[in-house]
Amino acid sequence: MSKQGRQVGGHYARKRFGQNFLQDPGVILNIVSAVAPQEGQRLVEIGPGMGAITRLLLEAAGELDVVELDRDLIPKLQASCGALGELRIHQADALKFDFGELAGGDGKLRIVGNLPYNISTPLLFHLFAFLPQIEDMHFMLQKEVVERLCADVGDNNYGRLSIMTRYYCEAENLFTVPPEAFQPAPKVDSAIVRLVPKPDSARQARDPAHLRELVTQAFNQRRKTLRNTLKGRISVPELESLDIDPGQRPQELSLANYTAISNFLINQTDNN
């Protein structure tokens, strides 16, 4: 075996790109069925790999933009999928790619991807910056990450990622995908998540970056109570004035609670 990884379809899966190629026809059909692509929609696929999902998306929509980092895969994609519709290949790092450039006119982007596990969280936050131009997103992620994205208050998986995802989107865990659906097989289960951006009116934080920093600070010591995790930032009487019990732990607060704290702190700064 090459040092690059296992050979799949004449291509060596590269560990540094987090490549695990989807092979199971049933899983592929289930994913495409969940996306339900339609002709004329602005579909974008991140990390098309060997084109397992690409072919069906392109056939249904007639056109497709794909963002692929591995330049060795591009000729294979063009050869296997190019005749099925208008395939526009962008050889780029999705973490740095300007997805806003792909949105045209009134049409919003529908983004699909089997995301490398090692970049999934930073890539999600990168995409959140383009939400006004996105209709929905369907991603294959590590099952544990999907459970965190969709977790609610009090769940063991509830944390910073749950809260910030909930701030931007409605998240739905659609179904689990076993390791044997891939070549090479990962060591963990995967899952498909649907993310639908919330309207601006539903996002009440005055400064989302401040909210994210606040939530991160709180969960850095998730076993401690709020009076300790946010000590020096907000006092016990101030928390009580917001109807928040300072004896609660970070995982017991809702998105609305954190938004209220963040806005309170920003208002205090403005008034000083």
pLDDT classification of 105: cutoffs 50, 70, 90: low
Q: Which helix (H) or strand (E) holds 239?
A: helix 236-241
In a domain, 115, yes or no: yes
> Which of 141, 165, 143 lies closest to 152 in space, CA to CA?
165
Domain C-terminal end among 186, 202, 218: 202
124 shares a domain with 184: yes
Number of folded domains in the chain? 2
Residue 261 sits in which domain range? Answer: 208-271
The answer to whether residue 3 scores a pLDDT higher than 90 is no
Q: Is the pLDDT of residue 70 over 60?
A: yes
Maximum alpha-carbon separation in the chain: 66
In a domain, 186, yes or no: yes
Measured CA to CA in angstroms, residue 2 lies from 7, 76, 183, 208 at distances of 8, 19, 15, 45
User: Does residue 215 share a domain with residue 132?
Assistant: no
Does some domain include residue 2? no
Of 8-17, 110-119, 191-200, 225-234, where does mean pLDDT reach its minimum?
A: 8-17
Q: Provide the mean pLDDT of the chain.
A: 90
Query: Between 143-150 and 160-168, two packed helices, what is the crossing angle to 10 degrees?
Result: 60
pLDDT (mean) for 110-123: 90
114 inside domain: yes
| Residue 28 maps to a domain | yes
Residue 118 belongs to domain with CATH number: 3.40.50.150
The radius of gyration of the chain's CA atoms, rounded to the nearest angstrom, is 21
Bigger pLDDT: 118 vs 196: 196
Mean pLDDT, residues 82-89 taken together: 93
In degrees, rounded to 5, the angle at the alpha carbon of residue 192 between the alpha carbons of residues 97 and 12 is 60
pLDDT of residue 183: 80
Q: Answer whether residue 143 shows pLDDT above 90.
A: yes
pTM of this prediction?
0.89
- Give per-residue pLDDT as tens, 128-142: 999 999 999 999 999
Helix (H), strand (E) at residue 259: helix 255-271
Q: Which helix or strand (DSSP H or E) is residue 252 part of?
A: none
Per-residue pLDDT tens for 43-54? 999 999 889 899
Question: CA-to-CA distance for 43 and 59, rounded, in angstroms?
Answer: 12
